[in-house]
Amino acid sequence: MLTTKNLTKHFPGARAPAVDNLTLNVAPSELFALLGPNGAGKTTTINCFLGFVTPDSGRAIVAGLNVAQHPLESKRRLAYIPEQVNLYGHFSGVENLAYFSELAGHRHDRTALRSLLAQAGLQAEAHELRVATYSKGMRQKVGIAIALAKKAQALLLDEPTSGLDPSASHEFSQLLRKLRERGVAILMATHDLFRAKEDATHVGIMRHGKLAHILTAAELRHTDLEKLYLETMAA
């Protein structure tokens, strides 16, 4: 569902590529967690999938579509939740969901919109409140509802648990599991080693734009992820 093949991106003035010959694959119902320090290439990889960044060579592929050749068609299959979900603060949760759903070509009545917000875990009393009053966790739930509304086949996440308290972080993980049960492929850039080990079907450790390690969930059960991560960064 999400694939890179020899993806390479070099920004002017940088000594080394931000992403260097990267190949990875995320199948339906998988959650691939990308770990690595700032500057490792995690966000650049996500931006290549979104079409925000054009690779110098290689390909970013969404549901069989080369993003560079099919930017609009590939975006229709994606949902994106950044560290800070950008919504219209003067709109309610329902109004934001209606607006972004229609942008993606999906129109829902108010009952359906409220149902989608409920599925995403947003409490009913918050549906009609202005988003300016929402916490980060509540904004993320609207982001999940948007992914549900547009029937996204893949979800891209950039530091989604940063700044969340343990309860909200756990609740967000439960929502991701529900999306995986629906067959959604998830690529998540994160610094949260605990959540990566708990939630991911695969973990990749990035360093200098390359994948230094890829571990499956089975391998993670027998791996000291923090030790491996620190050893990789020190190498």
Q: Where are the domains of the chain?
A: 88-151+165-182
**CA 75 from centroid of its chain's CA atoms:** 13
Q: Which residue numbers in the chain have pLDDT < 70?
A: none
Which of helix, strand or coil describes residue 21? strand
Report pTM: 0.93
pLDDT digits (tens, 9 = 90+) for 119-144: 999 999 999 999 999 999 999 999 99
pLDDT at 199: 93
Contact 73, 65 (CB under 8 A): yes
pLDDT at 109: 94
Q: Where are the alpha helices (DSSP H) in 78-192?
A: 93-103, 110-119, 136-149, 166-181
Which of helix, strand or coil describes residue 229? helix
Which of helix, strand or coil describes residue 163? coil
Q: Where are the alpha helices (DSSP H) in the chain?
A: 42-50, 71-76, 93-103, 110-119, 136-149, 166-181, 193-199, 217-220, 225-234
Which of helix, strand or coil describes residue 136? helix
Distance CA 52, CA 162 (A): 22
pLDDT at 103: 86
